[in-house]
Amino acid sequence: MIEKVFPRRGKQIYFRNVLQQVQRFCSTPTKIKIGSSSINASDPPFLGIQASYTSELKFVNKEYYDPLPLFRILNSSKHVRLPEDFKLDEQTLVRMYRKMITLNIMDKILYESQRQGRISFYMTNTGEEAIQIGSAAAVTLDDVIYAQYREAGVLLWRGHSIVDFMNQCYGNHKDPSKGRQMPVHYGSKKLNFVTISSPLTTQLPQAVGTAYAFKRSRKGACVVCYFGEGAASEGDAHAAFNFAATLECPIIFLCRNNGYAISTPSLEQFKGDGIAARGPAYGIHTIRVDGNDILAMYYATKAARELCITEGKPVLIEAMTYRIGHHSTSDDSTAYRSINEVDQWKHRTPIIRYRDYLESVGLWCEQREQELNKSVKSSILLAFTNAEKEFKPCWKELFTDVYRTMPKHIRKQMCSMEDHVTEFHKHYPLQLFKQR
């Protein structure tokens, strides 16, 4: 497969080193010797495995295997040599940085607005921008996205406007979900971005179902499903991995391993070699990537997508990163991690690393940085102000869209509510709500 994806020898060597450990898990020799024992051709094989017999009594644990390596491109040196046919032009490289900055500034403004009581809830993406923008740039609009709740950058890259983000967080009448969703639970049918739901891991089996439909229809597209390492502890994740592998579905499982499932560190979630080690066990092509390296994320996701499309099989990407911000506005991370730990990562953020690279190749400078920050902040504040002034959805939207045709019992509830509002209208700020 490596030869198919990367025709040039230089790139073959470059990426083969990364996948060397993964291939150890994904392929088994036709004959394995352990001590003096080997597979006996006269014995019927057990279904589902290829293994030898041995007289040695030995239990296997994670120390038996070498940890899967981390694929990266942006190392400590500013002088990075990209693969020769790395398909990213200068315009795209700069656009990726602009989207990272836009996401970062939007986070700061909306986080502060929640602290001021202007919106009810928010979750930042600080420290995880590279995973989102890098992977989003590597797929197409035909590919369907199933996200968790820290993938606003994916939607931003696909064309979701700042105005749309603000309307959703404020839940006004221009919000496509009509104010029924919590803030940051985005969705866009036009951009093939399935609406985010709060229950953890529910999107994984749903995403596999969509990927299986793609396989049956021969659509020539894949599904990208994002989730955190905490979500991988749920039963739905294991069911999804197994279904995707056995049904050979074109899906990229993208695990955003940021070290914490709210307040639970990864050391308390699993004892094995992270999430990536589970991929080969299920028969899934797997790679572990430096999630703070936007170019590595792009490159790995691009290769994963081609593998999905050409071979019709799933791929698991474990993107290692660090959540610099609190889990959400309902969380205080200083209760379970030290400030020194966070500070260490603040000096190696994806934005800092990528800016250093762009400056080293002459694509960025301090003047452009200041101009970008000023213009982005201005546009976000304008959208923020306008969204805050918009009417809230009509209260009758509480009862619509539950069924295609409203049944009698829901219509009865709506009429009862209408009588209540009419009688006690002085006690409700009806002037803030859109009239039907």
Q: Tokens 């094989």 — which residue?
A: 45
Distance CA 106, CA 383 (A): 10
DSSP 46: P
Is residue 237 exposed (0-12), middle (13-18) or buried (19+ Cβ within 10 Å)? buried
Catalytic pick among 37, 38, 120, 198: 198
Residue ranges in 273-395 assigned as alpha helix (H): 278-282, 294-311, 339-346, 350-360, 366-389
- The question of whether 112 is a catalytic residue gets the answer yes
- The question of whether 333 is a catalytic residue gets the answer no
Catalytic pick among 84, 112, 371, 418: 112
DSSP string, 80-125: PPPPTT----HHHHHHHHHHHHHHHHHHHHHHHHHHTTSSS-----
Q: Tokens 């060397």 — which residue?
A: 20
- The question of whether 90 is a catalytic residue gets the answer no
Residue 429's CB is within 10 A of a number of other CB atoms, namely 8
Distance CA 332, CA 232 (A): 23
- The question of whether 233 is a catalytic residue gets the answer no
Residue numbers annotated as active site: 112, 198, 327-328
